[in-house]
Amino acid sequence: MTEYSEHYYTAEDGVRTYYRRYPGQGSGSPTPVICLHGLTRNSKDFEDVAPRIAAAGHDVIAIDVRGRGKSGYDPEPGNYTPAVYVQDVIGVLDKAGWREAIFIGTSMGGLMTMIHAALQPDRIKAAVINDIGPVIDPKGLSRIQGYVGGAGPFQTWDEAAEAVRTINGVAFPNETGQAFWTAFAKRVCRETAGGEIVFDYDKNISKPVQDGNAAPPDMWPYFDALSAKPLLLIRGALTDLLSEETVQEMARRRQHMERVDIANVGHAPLLTEPRAREAIDAFLAEHG
């Protein structure tokens, strides 16, 4: 597996953003790739995806958005919004010296990608957005509001895995093995110095979400900025966050948008599913 180095970018407000950097393998210099995770996740979401992309020659960065993982917690919860996160991403890209990148954004990371396209269109060469669109289905948003910032702490990894299964089982109905859910828990949780296991994010990230400020009220202009780029949409066939109606409008506005649906998966695909992996590999080979 490709090794990564660890880095930090410090924003003007003093909050540090942690990121993993995976060096591209082999000769040549294909376009680098930046990976942006979802609301309650972190760079470990891409610990299988990023090495595979790096093995194909791309330099890869996977970020812990502020308030998650090894990044700093923001003392002002109102800053836990995609618009602020995008400014951190810009800072990371500047520090890395990347003038152009391919963006892979899961859920909230896809929203960040759309906003970035409106702010710095030349920075994005192509984009993969995973199970998100300009309209967030109220059913899915209500489900997220019901759990974010809530559960824990846990005394054992088995207990944490069961909590993760309770939250995410609807998205992965075919995953019944304990090993899957324990691995999932170890990506989204951490062990404290006192030996307890907690979700690996600042619980205050829930405040803007509960207040209905998870994204700008009208994301269509941001999608329109992104839709000028080569675009791959990956959608969980069972998703409750991205409606078919929204996807059809996305396709109408961006007629050459590639679309892949992942069977028997909800929000959001892990991008390790064979169909998702094949689609991303082909997309990067064509546009990277």
The CA distance from 115 to 71, in Å, is: 21
Could you tell me what percent of the chain has a pLDDT over 70? Answer: 99
pLDDT, position 147: 84
Chain mean position to CA 241: 14
Q: Give strand pairing partners of 259.
A: 233
Q: Are strands 101-106 and 124-130 parallel, antiparallel or unpaired?
A: parallel
Q: Give strand pairing partners of 260.
A: 234
- The model's pLDDT over 213-254, given as tens digits with 9 standing for 90+, comes to 777 889 999 999 998 899 999 999 999 999 999 999 999 999
CATH superfamily of 5-137+215-287: Alpha/Beta hydrolase fold, catalytic domain (3.40.50.1820)
What would the two tokens of residue 189 be?
A: 């949780």
What element of type H or E holds 145?
Answer: helix 138-147
Q: Where are the domains of the chain?
A: 5-137+215-287
What element of type H or E holds 210?
Answer: helix 206-210
SS3 62: strand
pLDDT, position 1: 55
Does residue 225 contact residue 111 with C-beta atoms inside 8 Å? Answer: no
pTM score: 0.96
pLDDT, position 83: 94
Q: Evaluate the omega torsion of the peptide bond into residue 153 and state whether it is cis, within 30 degrees of 0.
A: yes
pLDDT, position 2: 64
The CA distance from 270 to 236, in Å, is: 10
Token pair 């907690």 in the structure block, residue: 198
Cβ-based neighbours of 212, under 8 Å, separated by 6 or more: none
Query: Torsions phi, psi of 263, nearest 5?
Result: -65, 145
